Structure 1
Amino acid sequence: MSECDDTLAARLATEAGAILLQLQTAGNLSGKELGKAGDHKANAFLMQALRAARPADAILSEEEKDDPRRCSVSRAWIVDPLDGTREYGEGRADWAVHVALAIDGFATVGAVALPALGLTLTSGTPTPLSPAGDPLRMLVSRTRPAREALYVAEALAATLVPMGSAGAKAMAVVRGEADIYLHTGGQYEWDNCAPIAVAQAAGLHVSRVDGAPLVYNCADPYLPDLLICRPELADAVLRLVREMPA
């Protein structure tokens, strides 16, 4: 392998992001048509590049038919070619490209490109933690804020920060623009593997909302909930979720 896994993930996420930006700025498509075309083009690029660079590894992509044989392979690339298709189609900035490598079920390598911001954050170059906000800042969905997140935000007197894609939310915590990302509305492994790898490399707390570890390359890729937050806030957030009235 002439290119290490971290470098490969960062390069591919960045290059896929450039493809998506070019398609978006061409102005020929918009809305759902733009999102569909972006998913297709970015996925085709990533699949071809990963198969060429790592032919022995498995791949799980949102845009590909799943091959269950991947579960018998130690190394599995988990990618979301366009996280935040709706935001991308609307011309917003809160969308991302995810390229991750899970080894033995652990999110080991990750790169999250934020093409509209000209940034790619990686597990190979961890981002230093910034001071916590005062008041705390809680990320929530633009359209469907989770009941648990709203409950925790109220209990901690946190300010709500609506945002689009999962990758954009996770990277907002990594970049110090928010303090807590609590999600309970349903996701798949490709939605969060790369963000989790980047967040944990930066020293943030990452887990399921019951405190259990996040496990990847499972037969069923559904992974419905997660918590990414500053480490000193984890115990309080997990306790509040446990104690939340039914």
Structure 2
Amino acid sequence: NKELEAFSYSVSHDLRAPLRHIAGFVQLLQSKAKDTLDETSGRYLTVIAAAAKKMGVLIDDLLSFSRTGRAQMRVEPVPLGPLVDECRRDLEPAAGGRAIEWKIGALPSVMADRTLLRQVLANLLGNAVKYSGKREKAVIEVSARREKDEIVVCVRDNGAGFDMKYADKLFGVFQRLHTEAEFEGTGIGLANVRRIVVRHGGRTWAEGEVDKGAAFYFSLPVRQARKED
């Protein structure tokens, strides 16, 4: 597994330079030869540029996925409330002024690596914003509860949802339940979420119904969590 991870990191890293060359020369052609190219040739360049951009995002996500398994963890008390607020602010440009009702419950502090936990929340909240994008009014809820020996955090939305028979695929690499035309994505984000949570000793799972929204959960063991003072 470590060898595969190292291979993935190396390949992803080495692909960056040639991809930059492709994107750069396409951009040069578009700017310098736009008056001499016919409509069909111009469209070909546009398709190449879009494909290069998509591949760049995929490579970045693969590198991020590899790093989450390699990075050293610095565990410290992390208040979830301020971290959720921080992620929400970062998502404002992606929301594009849409009507979103945020329902944030009482959130505890947890013992975790702040940087990695931020990736988890940013991904789950980002997905909630994205998949509720076709709603006239999106409703996104964030809550936490104590269950025996775990703290369970839930991010719920009223978006596109999913068929529960495919729930086991959600957290796999390159697994997507919606087409690229419906919602953009690379299929790596939730795999990253699971990897980070598992490194903290927790679990991930999800519930949903087609066109009625979804709820994504992650847990942290109580031995690694404490309530806010």
Q: TM-score, normalised by structure 1?
A: 0.28
Q: TM-score, normalised by structure 2?
A: 0.29
Question: Considering only CA atoms, is the larger Rg found in Structure 1 or Structure 2?
Answer: 2
